[in-house]
Amino acid sequence: MPKSFLFPQLEHWEPYVPPKLKTWDELQAERERERMQARLDEEQRVAAKQQAASALYQQFQESIPGGLYSQSISNLQEPVKNYFMYKYNDVYNEYLAELAKTAQAGQEPSLKFGDFLSKYDYLKNYMRQPYINRGGYQARTLAPPTRFINY
């Protein structure tokens, strides 16, 4: 009887060759590659999370323009900051006027409020105001009226 009848798997039999054992240096290099790949994957995952959080924060800021305005005036000097503290509606109306100009020119308005605020010249607008509106004193409040001077 032929061998293949009793053991059909022996028909294509090849001798067993043990796998080549890796040297210590090869094992260390392989572990280092795995660590680097894991670190790279972690950095990509963190970057994706930060990008998603940044996009969410940007949407949040654009949905609440008052908060964006407060944040933009927080870096101003004290008198300018005090002046613009209650001028939110005026600044927002200027923003809407810019959008209207863009629409009248036949273009789609794409200006965001945050971009408008970043280009807004607070100091120039502040200096255009009369001295009394900027918190200055009127001259007549410093001197008494002349009709009450008695000789």
Residue 8 confidence (pLDDT): 62
Q: How far apart are CA 50 and CA 55, in angstroms?
A: 9
Q: What is the mean pLDDT of the chain?
A: 84
How far is residue 81 from each of residues 74, 96, 129, 136, 146, measured CA to CA in Å? 7, 22, 14, 15, 37
Q: Report which residue type is found at 71.
A: Q
Q: How far apart are CA 137 and CA 123, in angstroms?
A: 20
Q: What is the pLDDT of residues 74-114, one digit of tens each?
A: 989 888 898 899 899 999 999 999 999 999 999 998 998 98
pLDDT at 7 over 90: no
Burial (CB count <10 Å: 0-12, 13-18, 19+), residue 91:
buried
Tell me the pLDDT band of 61, cut-offs 50, 70 and 90: confident
Residue 129 backbone class (left: φ over 0; alpha: ψ -120 to 50; beta: rest): beta
Q: Residues with Cβ < 8 Å from 69, sequence gap 6 or more?
A: 88, 91, 92, 113, 117
Tell me the pLDDT band of 131, cut-offs 50, 70 and 90: confident
Give the largest Cα separation in the chain, rounded.
150
* pTM (predicted TM-score): 0.55
pLDDT at 64 over 90: no
Q: How far apart are CA 86 and CA 100, in angstroms?
A: 23
pLDDT at 51 over 80: yes
Range scoring the smallest mean pLDDT among 6-10, 92-96, 141-145: 141-145
